[in-house]
Structure 1
């Protein structure tokens, strides 16, 4: 086993311990009898609506936008295959270290010929940058809209969030604009001329992978951005449906900045599946708006339940994939 994998599993174990610690803290500070009562009163049809919206924004739309970059990169994967990969990745992200789960997705994108490795890596990286841009930018806009009602501690973070949004947008422009890419081309030339040969070769691969996006037409770029924006807005709508079912009196804008912040915190590699971080984030942020702790925890657990259901669908696809490969090997 490689040293990198050993480190990944060690950090993964520490994340499990931290998730248990945070979960224990939530358990000791929240009235779970009230949380269970709120859970039992929740409407199943609204849960199904929220689940469908979550599936659209986290599985279907990302598959549609990613496939545009896949086709330009020369990676031949159908839309249905991309959807199945996204479902499977929801499973692996919850049960495996991030390095391993990202590696599995990278491997799936490359296809049976195992080519286009750098292009597949650039697609995953670009997708993450765009998602972070829309999270930070929407949070920045929502804070400005609610500037008179958000807590002072969050008002102080507005400049930082704006800077982060601009930084992510600059990276996106670097991918999509040939003019900007040429402007920063000196960095690639410097690396090729002054770094060891094995580094220079990788720099060439990174440069080629980034240039793939410059082949996207304006229409494809607009559609991709519209897809990412729609996914984020539907993501907030899905949360609003859950909030409505629990009787949380909160408008779309407030739900938007709360869910954007919690999503960012949950993505930090400090626990498993965002456990503990997600619950504490909802408790404190919703608490600013007068939402009871038990209701906030119930809201958070319902979101987690939706993530588990999506991961279970991914598990079904993986089991089906295993049996299909087994049958193919037996025929050979």
Structure 2
């Protein structure tokens, strides 16, 4: 049963994405959308790829800096290319499973340890998530009264329901943890055992630790700031801080394993939040497409590299099998 669920999980995600996308795009005023699209500056076609390239490049530098703890035999350009291919596998296998497996295989060969490669990739994911969530909370302290207009859209009964729902969720979590505490503690012990050697190595390299954290912060600065710039180009009149907060909230929703690569959730999140702030729906949809175009660019480059490698490998195989004259 478990294997069947895993097997058809991507089908469920794809169906959810298609249904959400159809539901959203049927409610778009295409005349207004076309007018918003026509006023976009031409250099938007340059900015979108630059944001994607910078994200992959910073990710490459972060990985090289972390795995240099084990070896210095990791070249920048091959790793840069492999990160694009990893993004392609992330699209082919929804979630982070495809990309992470590819990266574990790549770095495992480089450092001669798949175990250390898995631990390193997991460590970067956890630290990245912590930094991301921290940035979300920090951004809320700088939001002005315009964003707090969202709160006024909900009545007091809804607020009470949210609080009650939160308390119920916490209570259920405590009960579940108490019932399955042996299971959680066992896997916590395994996780701790895997991460401790890496953490000990990082403690000895405090300079590298600081640089890794700085690179992760710069990654989010480029990813979020770049998208905020795109939102400004789409005609969304909000402050950079407000846009950054909304972008982070939506991208947090995209991380949930509900839809295929965030399709549908992305549009729904941007439209819902921006419309509450009295932003035109067509501009919200336009921005969501611009956001997704960054992902599509990275996937496209990754698929092109993967296809080239496949054809090159096949050509070498055919040449190797050809008779010698």
The TM-score bracket by the shorter chain reads 0.7 to 0.9
Task: Say which SS state the counterpart of residue 68 (structure 2) adopts.
Answer: helix
Unaligned stretches of 5+ residues in structure 1: 158-186
Match of 1:138 in 2: 135
Question: Which one of the candidate residues 41, 44, 66 is aligned to 2:42?
Answer: 44
CA distance in 2, matches of 1:293, 1:136: 27
> How far is the alpha carbon of 1:227 from its aligned partner?
1.0
Deviations 1:214-256 (A, max 9, x none): 34x2211111111111111111221122122222212210111
Q: How do residues 1-332 of structure 1 correspond to structure 2 at under 5 angstroms? A: 6-56=4-54, 58-74=55-71, 76-98=73-95, 99-111=97-109, 115-146=112-143, 148-151=145-148, 205-215=194-204, 217-329=205-317, 330-331=319-320
Unaligned stretches of 5+ residues in structure 2: 153-158, 163-181
Contact 1:65/1:227 (<8 A) preserved: yes
Q: 272-281 vs 93-102, which deviates more?
A: 93-102
Task: Say which SS state the counterpart of residue 261 (structure 2) adopts.
Answer: coil
Change (3 A) 1:327 1:147: same
> How far is the alpha carbon of 1:331 from its aligned partner?
4.1
CA distance in 1, matches of 2:132, 2:191: 30
Q: 58-67 vs 41-50, which deviates more?
A: 41-50
> How far is the alpha carbon of 1:41 from its aligned partner?
2.8
Contact 1:51/1:238 (<8 A) preserved: no
CA distance in 1, matches of 2:137, 2:195: 31
User: Alpha carbon RMSD of aligned pairs, Å?
Assistant: 3.0
> How far is the alpha carbon of 1:298 from its aligned partner?
0.7
TM-score by length of structure 1 reads: 0.77
Task: Say which SS state the counterpart of residue 273 (structure 1) adopts.
Answer: helix
CA distance in 1, matches of 2:231, 2:120: 34
Contact 1:118/1:209 (<8 A) preserved: no
Q: 205-214 vs 134-143, which deviates more?
A: 205-214
Larger Rg: 2
Match of 1:169 in 2: none
Change (3 A) 1:209 1:326: farther
Contact 1:65/1:228 (<8 A) preserved: yes
CA distance in 1, matches of 2:214, 2:12: 38
Contact 2:17/2:263 (<8 A) preserved: yes
Change (3 A) 1:33 1:94: farther
> How far is the alpha carbon of 1:152 from its aligned partner?
6.8
Q: 203-212 vs 101-110, which deviates more?
A: 203-212
Number of aligned residue pairs: 290
Deviations 1:46-65 (A, max 9, x none): 33124302320x20011101
Match of 1:176 in 2: none
Contact 1:267/1:274 (<8 A) preserved: yes
Contact 1:75/1:116 (<8 A) preserved: no
Task: Say which SS state the counterpart of residue 29 (structure 1) adopts.
Answer: coil
TM-score by length of structure 2 reads: 0.79
